[in-house]
Amino acid sequence: MYKPNSQTTNKVINHIAEISVAREVILNAPILPQWEVKLRKEAILKMAHHSTSIEGNRLTLEQVEDLLAGKEVPAWEKDKIEVENYVKVLEYIDQLGSKEQTKLTEEIILEIHRLTTKGLLDESGSGHYRKVPVAVVNGFGRTVFGPPEVEEVPKLMRNFVAWLNNEEAAELYPVLMSGISHYELVRIHPFVDGNGRTARALATLILYLRGFDTKRFFALDDYYNEDRSRYYVALQTVDPKTIDITKWLEYFTEGVAVSMGRVKKAILDLSLDRRLKEAKGQIYLDDRQMTILKHLQTNSRITISEIQSMFGISREMANRVIRPLLENGLVARQGKGRATYYELAQ
């Protein structure tokens, strides 16, 4: 059976800590249903655009949005098919989640690939393991990676899928399982084309089925696409002899941490916007008062002394700064005397 080879470094641990904090904020922040729909739609657009763009798709994010809205987009047919296919893959992932799918099978991976490459590969290649040798080349036409031989692919995939469903994988933090799976599918390179998109879709599916991204706000592909060369370099840091994927997991967890941080910021901004809109009357807050509210979204309390330090002001001025927040019911005073502190009003 396949067994991943990696070390848990301080970088990985720190990234996981950042991810865990962001995830708790995302899952528990109070936002309106229409905003949740908006965030899900944005995540789908970003995944469809960035995952295909990594592979050379020329559509812009705006063109992807127009295409999915049913508008006419002047572009190569192949580019449009790639994007539309990837959206179908994301819909398939949602269907698996709604069915409470728990087991990952070869059939699921093959179906992801079939949906990814429909209309781009012939029927013998779409949704089927490759029957010919392939090589990964860089922009200069040089081979940078030689995947396993054709005859090895079925066994490697069986062993890989067996690991995906065993106890060791189930005990892993979902992000680590997702990152390991992403790399291993790319390494095996089981398909003639579409391996990268299938690997990224599988990584997304694992996060969803393991209950990590239950709200479907998360899109990792944009992080890869911002610096494609770094993405490919990270994949190539693995020694082909030892297959130690430590450096890859450092990169992968960093990407998740950055992407989750962006979602967290968007969630906090929407949550704060909701709180302000629901407050009575017209409220005018200055930058310092907004900073206090944002601080309280990720910290349970704040004191007058902390406000003084935050802005370099006197105690009297700190009390004046927080007063409008108290008067408008945005924060509540707790404790007495020196033990007084302020928290977001319920």
313: left (phi over 0), alpha (psi -120 to 50) or beta: beta
Considering 15, 50, 113, 189, which one is annotated as catalytic? 189
Residue 284 has pLDDT above 90, yes or no: no
Residue 300 has pLDDT above 90, yes or no: no
Annotated catalytic residue 189: yes
pLDDT reported for residue 110: 98
Task: List every span in the chain annotated with CATH 1.10.10.10.
Answer: 287-344
* Helix (H), strand (E) at residue 52: helix 33-53
Tens digit of pLDDT for each residue in 202-245?
999 999 999 887 678 888 888 889 888 899 899 989 988 899 99
pLDDT reported for residue 58: 96
- What does pTM read for this prediction? 0.78
Percent of the chain predicted with pLDDT > 90: 59
Nearest Cα to Cα of residue 217 among 260, 174, 268: 260
pLDDT, the chain, mean: 88
pLDDT reported for residue 280: 54
Q: What is the mean pLDDT of residues 326-343?
A: 88
Tens digit of pLDDT for each residue in 65-93?
899 888 899 999 999 999 999 999 998 99
Q: What is the mean pLDDT of residues 168-197?
A: 96
CATH class given for the domain over 10-269: mainly alpha
HEC sequence for 250-289: HHHHHHHHHHHHHHHHHHHHHHHHHHHHHCCCCCCCCHHH
Residue 137 has pLDDT above 80, yes or no: no
d(CA 299, CA 342): 11
CATH of 287-344, one of 3.40.50.970, 1.10.10.10, 1.10.3720.10, 2.40.160.20: 1.10.10.10
CA 243 to chain centre: 25
pLDDT reported for residue 313: 94
Least confidently predicted of 27-36, 99-108, 227-236:
27-36
pLDDT reported for residue 191: 97
Banded pLDDT at 99 (limits 50, 70, 90): confident
Task: List every span in the chain annotated with CATH 1.10.3290.10.
Answer: 10-269
Q: What is the mean pLDDT of residues 244-249?
A: 96
